[in-house]
Amino acid sequence: SLSLEVGGDNGTSTLTVTGDGEITVESSADAVATAEVSGTTVTVHPVAEGSATITVTMAASDHYTTASDTISVTVTEPEPGE
């Protein structure tokens, strides 16, 4: 899981993958957190306070079936004075 702050640093998660299918990511709540993938690194961008689930999916290939996993994300407002 990732805990992030609005206006703070992005969160990253490096994937351990077996296979060569295309990797895609989707947020359950784009208003809270968005995500993008580059290679095997998923970057999560905090948008607003709340919770979201990032679903990471690897497409099937010649030798592997489709696989997916989730990342739970909690975004909070920064503490006053930060």
How does pLDDT run along the chain (82 residues), one tens digit per residue? Answer: 899 999 999 998 888 877 788 999 999 999 999 999 998 889 999 999 999 999 999 999 888 899 999 999 999 998 887 6
Q: What is the pTM of this model?
A: 0.87
Helix, strand, coil share (%) of the chain residues, nearest 5 = 0, 55, 45
Position 15 scores a pLDDT of 80
Which helix (H) or strand (E) segment holds residue 20: the answer is none
